[in-house]
Amino acid sequence: MGKIAFVFPGQGSQHVGMGKSLAEKYQAARDIFALADECLGYSLSKLCFEGPEDELRLTYHTQPAILTTCMALYEVFKADAPRPDYVAGHSLGEYSALVAGEALAFADAVTIVRKRGQFMDEAVPAGQGAMAAVIGAKRDELQSVCEEISLEGDTVQLANLNSPGQVVISGTKEGVEKASQVIKAQKKARRVIPLDVSGPFHSDLMKPAASRLAHVLENVKINNARIPVVTNVEARPVMLAEEIEQALIEQVFSPVLWEDSVRWMIDAGVDIFVEIGPGQVLTGLIKKISRDVAVYSVYDEDSLRQTLEEIT
């Protein structure tokens, strides 16, 4: 018998209306949205269900909104689903994984990610940071380009190692622009796509946000995980509370080793992945990483029921 992993998406998967029909039908989902509203002191549920979109896209709203929608779906799904062998999340999604793995209480997680979003937003003045997706490049060649430009004084780093041939770079606006020019000039990639983000996430420029987050985490009860959580920072499972806390701090300025994390789980025997959350971003990435595993998406009631039929 193979193993199963539940994975949770990060920022970029949000859309107005997410979680609405689920909350209308299921008490468990309603309870999660109500708890988020109570913890945050404003109606996050209204923002998720009705928008406006430009408000939802603000990092400090997006992060709790995605976490809450993921957990609403998870609470309904887990009632009839098998217990996973591993959980993992992409960047922000790691908080959903930690709630599912019982290392963090949802009430704490939703409060933390609101602050995390705020700290990340405030770490770099608007317009000074940038990110770009690089399609079809080799990881080591990209790493060399980033290192050369960073030595010249402009920060640019590998930020998300998503799947074979899909890497995101992050840094100062100038650093990302220079790297993009070199990559295009040397024909090291098929495409370079500037991303519409509010900051240079997962780069050294986020270290001020990480140190502020560390102070918040000092006052939060983190438990040993009941389900191994494969972390972005190391692409291996952790269960101890102190390791989890360290991973959450480092995650803010370190690359998201998503491809490596998925490969680790496959090597450990995982042959079923279930993405739980809005959008189907991780489903697409996992399919690019391996064609030998089954991948399901749970993003609304229909997909939830369909997935349960397939895996139970």
* Boundaries of every domain in the chain: 3-123+205-311, 129-197
**Confidence at residue 179, expressed as pLDDT on a 0 to 100 scale:** 97
Q: Annotated catalytic residue: which of 13, 45, 91, 96?
A: 91
Same fold, 3-123+205-311 and 129-197: no
Give 159-195 pLDDT, tens digit per residue.
999 999 999 999 999 999 999 999 999 998 999 999 9
Model-wide pTM > 0.95: yes
Contacts of 269 (CB under 8 A, 6+ apart): 2, 3, 85
Residue 212: pLDDT band with limits 50, 70, 90: very high
What is the 8-class DSSP label of residue 223? P
Q: Is 91 considered catalytic here?
A: yes
- Please, are residues 251 and 91 in contact by the beta-carbon 8 Å criterion? yes
Task: Tell the CATH topology of 129-197.
Answer: Alpha-Beta Plaits (3.30.70)
- Report the top-level CATH class of 3-123+205-311: alpha beta
Give 92-103 pLDDT, tens digit per residue.
999 999 999 999
- Please, are residues 311 and 83 in contact by the beta-carbon 8 Å criterion? no
Residue 198: pLDDT band with limits 50, 70, 90: confident
Give 216-247 pLDDT, tens digit per residue.
999 999 999 999 999 999 999 999 999 999 99
What is the 8-class DSSP label of residue 104? S
Residue 197: pLDDT band with limits 50, 70, 90: confident
d(CA 70, CA 65): 9
What is the 8-class DSSP label of residue 134? E
**Confidence at residue 196, expressed as pLDDT on a 0 to 100 scale:** 86
Question: Order of strands across the sheet with 191-194?
Answer: 156-163, 166-172, 129-135, 191-194
Q: Annotated catalytic residue: which of 13, 202, 203, 261?
A: 202
DSSP 182-248: HHHHTT--SEEEE---SS-TTSGGGHHHHHHHHHHHHTS--PPPSS-EE-TTTSSEE-SHHHHHHHH
- Please, are residues 97 and 229 in contact by the beta-carbon 8 Å criterion? yes
Residue 275 has pLDDT above 80, yes or no: yes
Q: Is 202 considered catalytic here?
A: yes
Residue 1: pLDDT band with limits 50, 70, 90: low
